[in-house]
């Protein structure tokens, strides 16, 4: 027998999951705290499982709650996309996107999925590349939208998110405890701007290291970290399951603060390009 899950209950559940606090969640969904608490209890009663553990400072998801989060986000996003599709005229034409590898399998599918639901007749082309190549393609008129990394701090460009570059290690292998510490790098990769900063951060801490793995892609660095072969400089959002960020407590710390920036062509803008830019903003949580 199917569960009659109400979208309002799922939205409230997500607000509580994201804030970790009933009061802040109530502000998000514009309800009273008691109403939010009642909706959470109603959802737990419908599912028959506890979704949160209550603590003095707030709530945290149970294992069952973590299972529900991703599906709840997809359901709510689909409902929102469907509502938008009914309100807005469907666009046509083409849009070309350049995006770093870090977001091809995470944020980009969210943007493309919501966009395709509203504008199924638009032809979308995606170019995976590092920031310098994406910017060059944008300036040459080869793509319409570029998502690129910039150094952290003030910028005249539109910032989608701040995504620090950090050292990542495997949870299981204790790779960061070896000396000299084995490191995976982008060495020999033109445009591998984080190498100097990463290695400089180790020298600053007087940490002996050796290059154990060289890759032209972040997926190669991730493979080195997951396998326990080396630690690697990764965008915080790109750290895979089974791995973690090395913090100051581990003797490492943040390598660099990076802005993830949205750039579009100044000329020949279209409603189609603007709509895709909006979808990308929402996927990054900046819309």
Q: From 267, 248, 217, select the one nearest 104 (Cα to Cα).
A: 217
pLDDT band at 35 (very low <50, low <70, confident <90, very high): very high
Please give the C-alpha separations between residue 237 and each of 17, 41, 79, 155, 243, in angstroms, as whole numbers: 18, 32, 26, 21, 12
**Which stretch of 30-44, 69-83, 173-187, 246-260 has the lowest confidence by average pLDDT?**
69-83
> Average per-residue pLDDT in the chain?
88
* pLDDT digit string, tens, across residues 116-164: 888 889 999 999 988 899 999 999 999 999 999 988 888 889 999 999 9
- How far apart (Å, rounded) are the C-alpha atoms in residues 260 and 99? 10
The pLDDT value recorded for residue 103 is 92
Dihedral of CA atoms 237, 241, 242, 244 in degrees, nearest 10, equals 10
- How far apart (Å, rounded) are the C-alpha atoms in residues 166 and 246? 7
Beta strands of 37-105 (E only): which ranges? 52-55, 58-61, 92-99
Q: How many of the other CB atoms lie within 10 Å of CB of 164?
A: 16
- How far apart (Å, rounded) are the C-alpha atoms in residues 274 and 266? 11
Distance linking the first and last C-alpha atoms of the chain:
37
Mean pLDDT in residue range 176-189: 84
**Token pair in block for residue 104:** 């091809």
* pLDDT digit string, tens, across residues 192-223: 455 678 888 898 899 999 999 998 888 899 99
- How far apart (Å, rounded) are the C-alpha atoms in residues 246 and 174? 11
Burial class (CB in 10 A: 0-12, 13-18, 19+), 233: buried
Q: Vertex 220, ends 209 and 230: CA angle to 5°? A: 25
- Kindly give, in sequence order, each residue whose CB lies less than 8 Å from that of residue 39, ignoring residues fewer than 6 positions away: 8, 9, 12, 13, 31
* pLDDT digit string, tens, across residues 1-18: 456 778 899 999 999 998
pLDDT band at 76 (very low <50, low <70, confident <90, very high): confident
Contact 145, 98 (CB under 8 A): yes
pLDDT above 90: percentage of residues in the chain: 49
The pLDDT value recorded for residue 287 is 54
**Token pair in block for residue 208:** 């002996």
**Which stretch of 78-87, 103-112, 155-164, 180-189 has the lowest confidence by average pLDDT?**
78-87
Mean pLDDT in residue range 88-92: 79
Can you state the angle between helices 7-19 and 63-87, rounded to 10 degrees? 120
Q: How many of the other CB atoms lie within 10 Å of CB of 4?
A: 7
The pLDDT value recorded for residue 93 is 92
Contact 221, 213 (CB under 8 A): yes
**Which stretch of 47-51, 64-68, 87-91, 113-117 has the lowest confidence by average pLDDT?**
87-91
């Amino acid at each position: 027998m199917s569960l009659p899950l109400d979208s309002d209950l799922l939205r409230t559940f997500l607000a509580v999951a994201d804030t970790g606090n009933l009061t802040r969640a109530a502000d998000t969904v514009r309800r009273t705290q008691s109403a939010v608490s009642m909706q959470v209890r109603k959802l737990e009663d419908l599912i028959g499982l506890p979704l949160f553990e209550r603590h003095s400072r707030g709530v945290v998801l149970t294992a069952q709650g973590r299972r529900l989060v991703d599906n709840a986000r997809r359901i709510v996003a689909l409902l929102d996309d469907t509502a938008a599709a009914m309100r807005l005229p469907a666009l046509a034409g083409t849009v070309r996107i350049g995006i770093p590898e870090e977001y091809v399998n995470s944020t980009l599918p969210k943007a493309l999925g919501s966009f395709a639901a509203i504008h199924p007749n638009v032809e979308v082309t995606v170019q995976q590349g590092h920031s310098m190549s994406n910017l060059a393609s944008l300036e040459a008129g080869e793509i319409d939208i570029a998502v690129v990394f910039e150094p952290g701090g003030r910028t005249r460009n539109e910032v989608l998110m701040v995504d620090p570059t950090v050292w990542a290690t495997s949870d299981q292998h204790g790779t960061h405890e070896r000396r000299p510490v084995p490191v995976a790098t982008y060495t020999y990769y033109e445009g591998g701007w984080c190498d100097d900063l990463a290695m400089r951060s180790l020298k600053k801490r007087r940490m002996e290291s050796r290059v154990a793995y060289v890759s032209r892609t972040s997926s190669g660095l991730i493979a080195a970290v997951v396998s326990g072969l080396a630690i690697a400089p990764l965008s915080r959002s790109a750290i895979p399951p089974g791995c973690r960020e090395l913090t100051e407590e581990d003797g490492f710390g943040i390598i660099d603060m990076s802005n993830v920036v949205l750039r579009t062509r100044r000329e020949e803008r279209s409603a189609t390009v603007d709509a895709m830019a909006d979808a990308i903003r929402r996927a990054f949580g900046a819309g």
